[in-house]
Amino acid sequence: MLVGVDIVENERMARVIARRPRLLERVFTRQEREYCLSKANPARHFAARFAAKEAVGKALGTGVISWQEIEVINAASGQPAVRVSGRTEAAARRAGAGPLSLSLSHSDSASVAVVVARRLRTGNEDD
């Protein structure tokens, strides 16, 4: 099992966005930005997505390879999901990761993300 978790203070994210607005373009995809900016408290949603990207890097054991290659989307059910591409997708394959599952949660002060993936059997593992 591969697991990653991260927590981000919402107010800290709001301060970072205010000081460095171009960070949004560097870290978040267009769809992520549009989603977060449509919310009453965008910083909270940006914080959760930032935490999700960090959690993916932790689960894969690589850290974040490319911010844009990890995208938080909403499944048809409305549940958050994560999609990886490029070098991050290749790293997931090397790690033997099956589909990544994502859970997000917010409070007034912080946002947290947990990423879990079942390790696919390649014939070499004993788990």
pLDDT of residue 127: 45
E strands, the chain, are 2-9, 70-74, 80-84, 97-106, 110-119
Separation between Cα atoms, residue 72 and residue 31, nearest integer Å: 9
Q: Is 92 in contact with 66 (CB distance < 8 Å)?
A: no
The CATH H-level (homologous superfamily) assignment of domain 2-119 is 4'-phosphopantetheinyl transferase domain (3.90.470.20)
Return the domain boundaries, the chain.
2-119
Among 39, 45, 53, 106, the one annotated catalytic: 106
Q: How many CA atoms lie within 13 A of 16 on its CB side?
A: 17
Q: Is 21 in contact with 33 (CB distance < 8 Å)?
A: no
pLDDT of residue 126: 47
Among 39, 45, 53, 58, the one annotated catalytic: 58
Separation between Cα atoms, residue 46 and residue 10, nearest integer Å: 8
Q: Model-level pTM?
A: 0.92
User: What is the identity of the amino acid at 24?
Assistant: L
Digitized pLDDT (tens) for each residue of the chain, 127 residues in all = 999 999 999 999 999 999 999 999 999 999 999 999 999 999 999 999 999 999 999 999 999 999 999 999 998 898 999 999 999 999 999 999 999 999 999 999 999 999 999 998 665 554 4
Give yes or no: 106 in active site: yes
- Say what angle helices 30-37 and 42-60 make with each other, to 10 degrees: 140
